[in-house]
Amino acid sequence: MAGRALPLGLAGLVLALMLGPVAALALWAGGLALLPADWAALRFTLVQAVLSAGLSVALAVPVARALARRRFAGRGALITLMGAPFLLPVMVAVLGLLAVFGRAGVINRGLEGLGLPGLSIYGLQGVVLAHLFLNLPLAVRMILQGWQAIPAERFRLAEALDLGPQGIARHLERPMLREVLPGAALVILSLCLTSFAVALTLGGGPGATTVELAIWQAVRLEFDLAHAAGLGLVQVAVSALAAAAAWVWVRPAGFGAGVGVGAMPVIPAPGGATRAGDALAIVAAALFLLVPLGAVVLRGMPGVSELPPSVWSAAGRSLAVAVVSALLAVTVALVLALAVAQRGSLVIELAAALPLAVSGMVLGTGLFLLLQPVVSPQAVALPVTVGVNAALALPFLFRLLLPEARALRSDYGRLADSLGLAGWARLRWLVLPRLARPLGFGAGIAAALSMGDLGVIALFAGEQGVTLPLMIQRLIGAYRMEAAAGAALVLVGLSLALFWACDAGGRRAAA
């Protein structure tokens, strides 16, 4: 296979892009600083992130298993739609959730109607609920991908050996989960570590102070860049520890090659109570994810017709940014995953985990400091957004590709080596076809994430180069809530369409 220079170089580049801004802040301020109050913020940040990540993967397992072994009309559409919350801009998702769980939401109205006391979403429970809403779809899809990666022959063999559900769980499902869960939990944990708007809006007050908020305060209110850099480094350290732990825990499942990877209905689907349990898991997850999504659609519909033309040009710009950053992210993630599948590398693992853990505020401010002496930030707003969005999508893609890249290596690596299949030919005839499914899914996630991400553009943009998320923010800032809700609906629709196109493309190429 190609040398290690390319993947290590790329990993170094990603690390530099992520750590350079932290270093720039520290250098500018001449040091790093932490304050006693930071530990309370770190404690709350860790508690909510661990709870959010743990619950997301724990609840995703039964849902993914049910979706993997049951067949019903509309299953494909349901799986695609259930992914949508993950693609929502954070505040749009929060408003959707509040329409259901909020003080004036459906549930509390119902309770009131029945004369029962209301439930409060504001507090730690609300923060975790929102993170669950945003991340459960991702966890379900990652785990479902794991189930589909178990070769159909293994399930047939288990059936022939009369292993029963316990045996299948022990020999097939648990090894698969052991490989997939740590990575999924790591990605969600990192995502929740830098949570800002969700944690603050639903947290209910200053008791819910996160490290990210402390960074905002340090940069904007106190202009204490040493403090911001110190806090940014804490976020990175926590995420690096989590990445190292995941690296230690992950065990490749090693199912061996099979022709039936991702093939249709061979996973044994017992009837009776198991069937009822599966139905419950699917219905509960669908309600939890789709009802707030419905609220987002209802809120957005009236605004769509009156959207100003500038919203559509912003949408076009966002689409272009999304496609380019997805291509970039997929390429880098594939190189890194193939390299790690060949031989483990903590450096690459770290490069693929850290982008989610770096504070958006530190990243934006640090990049600004680094770029400003060289070039006008406005002039590079879009390229910088593409680069940052690609880096932010890298952890998802890497986690999706790694298990399958490992399987590919162990199943076909020696055969391909002995055939002298290398370089472009190997990529064309072996890697791309076998990895088409996770590549398509991953590209979809990367593109959709990039569509919805406000990212550094808010710090860099001027009169031109406005993306759709920034446009939504400007509409809200100008009191135009209805138009903003309409634009958000356009954003969700485009993200979902883009995601669906990539995902379906990948599945078709794999079939």
Write out the residues near other proteins by the rule CB under 8 A.
91, 94-95, 98-99, 102-104, 122, 196-197, 200-207, 213, 216-217, 219-221, 223, 308, 310, 365, 368-369, 372-373, 376, 378, 458-459, 461-463, 470, 473-481
Q: Which amino acid is at 12?
A: G
Question: What's the distance, CA 52 to chain centroid?
Answer: 13
CB 395, min distance to other proteins, A: 24
Q: At what angle do helices 272-304 and 75-82 cross, to 10 degrees?
A: 60
For residue 394, give both structure tokens. Answer: 């890298």
CB 225, min distance to other proteins, A: 8
Q: Residue 213 or residue 352: which is nearer to other proteins going by CB?
A: 213
Rg (CA), the chain: 23
CB 40, min distance to other proteins, A: 9
Q: Residue 378 or residue 415: which is nearer to other proteins going by CB?
A: 378
Q: Residue 145 or residue 359: which is nearer to other proteins going by CB?
A: 359
Burial of 305 (0-12, 13-18, 19+ CB in 10 A): exposed
CB 393, min distance to other proteins, A: 23
Q: At what angle do helices 346-353 and 5-29 cross, to 10 degrees?
A: 60
CB 30, min distance to other proteins, A: 14
For residue 344, give both structure tokens. Answer: 């483990």
Question: What's the distance, CA 236 to chain centroid?
Answer: 17
For residue 420, give both structure tokens. Answer: 């002298």
Q: Residue 68 or residue 198: which is nearer to other proteins going by CB?
A: 198
Q: Residue 162 or residue 463: which is nearer to other proteins going by CB?
A: 463
Q: Residue 11 or residue 213: which is nearer to other proteins going by CB?
A: 213
> Each residue of 170-192: b (16+ CB within 10 Å) or e?
eebbebbbebbbbbbbbbbbbbb
Q: Residue 205 or residue 271: which is nearer to other proteins going by CB?
A: 205
CB 35, min distance to other proteins, A: 12
Contacts of 58 (CB under 8 A, 6+ apart): none
CB 206, min distance to other proteins, A: 5
Contact 161, 132 (CB under 8 A): no
CB 172, min distance to other proteins, A: 45
Contacts of 508 (CB under 8 A, 6+ apart): none
CB 103, min distance to other proteins, A: 5
- Give me the helices (H) in 70-173, please: 75-82, 84-87, 90-101, 106-113, 124-148, 152-160, 164-168
Q: Residue 185 or residue 225: which is nearer to other proteins going by CB?
A: 225
φ and ψ at residue 293, rounded to 5 degrees: -65, -40
Q: Residue 175 or residue 360: which is nearer to other proteins going by CB?
A: 360
φ and ψ at residue 103, rounded to 5 degrees: -60, -35
DSSP state of 467: -
